[in-house]
Structures are given as C-alpha cells and as structure tokens.
Amino acid sequence: MIKQEISRAADTRKRIWAIVGASSGNLVEWFDFYVYSFCAIYFAPAFFPKGDSTTQLWNTAGVFAAGFLMRPIGGWLFGRIADKHGRRTSMMISVLMMCGGSLMIAFLPTYAAIGAAAPLLLLLARMVQGLSVGGEYGTSATYMSEVAPQGRRGFFASFQYVTLIGGQLLAVLVLVIMQQFLSTEELRAWGWRVPFVLGAIGAVVALYLRKSLTETASAESRNSKDAGSFSGLWKHKRAFLTVVGFTAGGSLMFYTFTTYMQKYLVNTAGMDAKLASGIMTFVLLVYMLMQPLFGALSDRIGRRNMMLCFGVLGTLFTLPILHLLKDVSDPYSAFALATLALVIVSFYTSISGLIKAEMFPPEVRALCVGLSYAVGNALFGGSAEFVAFTFKGWGVESYFYWYVTVMCAIALLISIRMPDPSKVGYLKDEA
C-alpha cells in the first residue's frame, strides 16, 4: 500500500514537471507573439507612412491578422510532425522558429531607412511567428492533455492558458516597466525593440528545457497509417468542424478583451496609453489566476456545461460591457468591466486545449487540435483588431459589438449539439 502511494506521488511529480517544461515554451511563444500587439502603439509610425494614428494601427493590425493566417499552415505542419515524430520534437522546432521571428523584428530597419521593404519584412517576420504559434498551440495542448492525470485533467490542462495569458501579461508588464524609464520618444525610436530581444533569449532557454520532456505519443500511434494525415482527419470531420465553430466565438471574444482592449481604451475611450497598459496588466493577472479554478470546475461539471456557460453569458453580456467601456473614464470601472468579460471567457479558455484533445484519437490528435483551432482562430480571433478598426474607420464601431455577440451565440448553438468530451472522449479511454 505504501509502495503504491509512493509510486503515485512520484508519477504525479513527473506529470507536473512535464507540464512545467511544456508550459515554459508556451509562455515564451505567446510572449513573443503578443509583444507585437502591445508595442504596436509605439512602432506603427516606424514601419508605415505618416498618417493618423487609427490608420497606422489599422495597418499594424492587418499585419497582426496576417500572422494568424499562417496558423492553419502551422497547425497542419507541426500537427503532422507531432503525430508522426512525437510531440517533443514538434514543440522544440516551433519554439526555435519563434526565436528567429523575434530576432528579425528586433533588428528590422524602419520605413525611413528602407522604404516599402520595411512593412514587407515585418509581414514576413510575423508570418514566421504565426507559423510557429500555429504549431505550438495544437502540440502543447495535446501534450499537456495527455500528460495530465485522469479526473484532474481540467485543472492540469488549464495551465496551458495560464502560460498563454502569462505570456500576454509578461509582454504588457515589460512594456509598463519600460514606460516608467523611457520617454515616449525613446520608446518610438528604439525602446520597442527591447522586448523582442528578450523574447528571443527566452526562446533559447525554453528550447533547453523542452529537451528533457518525456514523449507521450506511443510508437503504435506514430506508426499508424492515419498518423498526421488528412485521411485520418477526415474520419473525424464532424468533431473537427465542431471545434472550428466554437473556437471562432471563443477566440474572437478572447482577443477582443485582451490584445484589442488596450487599444480600445486608448483609441475609443480616450485613456492615456500608460494608464491603459497598467489597467490591462492587473486585468490579465486576475484572468491568469482564474484559469486553474475554472479548469478544476470543469472536472466537476463537465466540459460541455462549461461551453454552455460561456455561450449564454457571452451572448448576453458582450454588448453591454463594450458599450460601457466605450465611455469609461474611471480606471477602476474599466478594470471591473474588463475583468467581468474575462470571467465569462474563462469558461472557454480554461478548457480550450483539453476539450479539443478529448475529441480526437492519438494518431491524429495534434493535427486535428492544431488545425481546427488555427482555422477558427485565423478567421475570427486574429482578425478581431482588424475588423474593429475597420468598423471604427467606417464610423459604425458598434457593429463590432454585435459581431462578437453573434459569434458567441453561434458557439452556444454548437455547444448545445455537442456531446460531453470529458465523459465520452478519447482521452477517457486512454487513462
């Protein structure tokens, strides 16, 4: 009996260390990707012709969206690598690629130096990063879901979004610290490059940590004729389309109240950039800490019920929250409203990777998780800022509020028709 307890304790420690190792790379990947969004206010004039701030931000948002369009390719490429050659190999390649993209942006010449080549090279660097993140999400979600213990998968797998949000938080925190020591002119001249250098260094550290991870994909699944193939994916096309559907609403709302919110508070509510960054730092901190709580809740009530809560609350409250934020002037009110929105989003994000992994067998799991997520995310999540700025430029900004609300309603309808993966999914059979 004592030996069994010791064995279980050792197994739990091993699983926790594996999640920490996978999470370290996830943190760096998302830090590098989000630094672009948070620093855009400062480097937009460096890469695009002179114009009003909304136009320049619209251009940088377009490049941000283009990075998302590479995610389906990354989801396919790295998903295939993970299913055929192992999760560990795929995660090491993806973090190395992110390092290269960050270094490229850090040392990129400006529009004043090389003209139109500057935004084109910026676009290329973002496409490399988009390819990397497209592969990172599916592989890390698959790995963390497979290594988490049965009965507590929701809690353990939620740490994917702890580190994903942690990457955002770290990105905005670095910016807030730099804002305290550098002037606006210094940030626009060269300061914005520093976070990209830090991200590249962090990627090298994550690469080292990931070398020690234990592989979770069995030789049998890797050698399957369906491993990482479209023919294998096609056998699960209904689950694939289900994931694309609820990811569209979930990722759109996630990016609306995280990366876009800082710009929304500055460009629409009229807040000072430093104040908006400070507010979002604390909002993201609270949001990050909520994920394990919601993940543990999913272990009790089931993944489908979590998605139903997200769909209902997102449909009812998105419109009023965005309307109230449009005219907010008090920082405490802005904090409360943004936090409320992210409480709703947490019903989705805390189980985002796990619910997808539970819906597919191991031989095509990384491919199906990564590609389905990337497609929904590229079309709706990554384009959130671009669509928002487009509506604002047309003078109908409130249309964006309705757009997000409708996508949450669609996620609700899909969730109603979906069986509960935590009860009938493939990971349950593998435990």
Q: What is the pLDDT of residues 266-281, one digit of tens each?
A: 989 999 988 998 898 8
pLDDT at 50: 67
pLDDT at 51: 61
pLDDT at 254: 94
pLDDT at 2: 54
For 268, phi then psi, to 5°, come to -110, -50
Q: Which residue has the higher pLDDT, 208 or 411?
A: 411
pLDDT mean over 356-366: 95
Yes or no: say if 162 and 292 are a contact pair by the CB < 8 Å rule.
yes
Q: Which residue has the higher pLDDT, 42 or 246?
A: 246
Lowest mean pLDDT among 221-225, 299-303, 304-308, 382-386: 382-386
Examine residue 393 and state whether it is found in any structural domain, yes or no. yes
* Number of CB atoms found within 10 A of residue 313's CB: 18
Examine residue 223 and state whether it is found in any structural domain, yes or no. no
Q: Which residue has the higher pLDDT, 292 or 67?
A: 292
pLDDT mean over 141-167: 90
CATH number of the domain at 286, please: 1.20.1250.20
Examine residue 6 and state whether it is found in any structural domain, yes or no. no
Lowest mean pLDDT among 51-60, 83-92, 225-234, 297-306: 51-60
Lowest mean pLDDT among 11-20, 72-81, 139-148: 11-20
Q: Which residue has the higher pLDDT, 375 or 335?
A: 335
Statement: residue 257 has pLDDT above 60: yes
Examine residue 7 and state whether it is found in any structural domain, yes or no. no
Pick from 65-74, 331-340, 413-422 the range whose average pLDDT is largest: 331-340
Yes or no: say if 420 and 146 are a contact pair by the CB < 8 Å rule.
no
pLDDT mean over 294-299: 96
What lies within 8 Å, CB to CB, of 346 at 6+ separation is 287, 290, 291, 294
pLDDT mean over 203-207: 86
Statement: residue 164 has pLDDT above 90: no
pLDDT at 378: 80
C-alpha distances in Å from residue 220, one per residue of 6, 352, 386: 29, 27, 44
pLDDT mean over 20-41: 79
pLDDT at 292: 96
Examine residue 220 and state whether it is found in any structural domain, yes or no. no
**Which range marks the domain in which residue 66 is found?**
13-213+228-430
pLDDT mean over 67-73: 80
Statement: residue 238 has pLDDT above 90: yes
Q: Where are the alpha helices (DSSP H) in 158-272?
A: 159-181, 184-189, 194-210, 219-222, 230-234, 237-256, 259-267
pLDDT at 9: 55
Examine residue 219 and state whether it is found in any structural domain, yes or no. no
pLDDT at 64: 65
pLDDT at 424: 80
Tell me the average pLDDT of the chain: 87
Total domains in the fold of the chain:
1
Lowest mean pLDDT among 8-22, 86-100, 288-302: 8-22
Produce one character per residue of 36-52: b if its CB has 16 or more CB atoms within 10 Å, e if not.
bbbbbbbbbbbbbeeee
pLDDT mean over 226-231: 93
pLDDT band at 12 (very low <50, low <70, confident <90, very high): low
How far apart CA 66 and CA 281 sit, in angstroms, is: 26
pLDDT at 291: 96
Examine residue 188 and state whether it is found in any structural domain, yes or no. yes
Which tokens is 389 given? 């700025």
Examine residue 218 and state whether it is found in any structural domain, yes or no. no
Statement: residue 61 has pLDDT above 90: no
pLDDT band at 304 (very low <50, low <70, confident <90, very high): very high
Yes or no: say if 366 and 155 are a contact pair by the CB < 8 Å rule.
no
Statement: residue 342 has pLDDT above 70: yes
How far apart CA 373 and CA 140 sit, in angstroms, is: 12
Statement: residue 6 has pLDDT above 80: no
Which tokens is 167 given? 């990457």
How far apart CA 405 and CA 222 sit, in angstroms, is: 41
pLDDT at 227: 94
* Number of CB atoms found within 10 A of residue 235's CB: 15
Give the torsion sign (CA, 226, 228, 234, 239).
positive
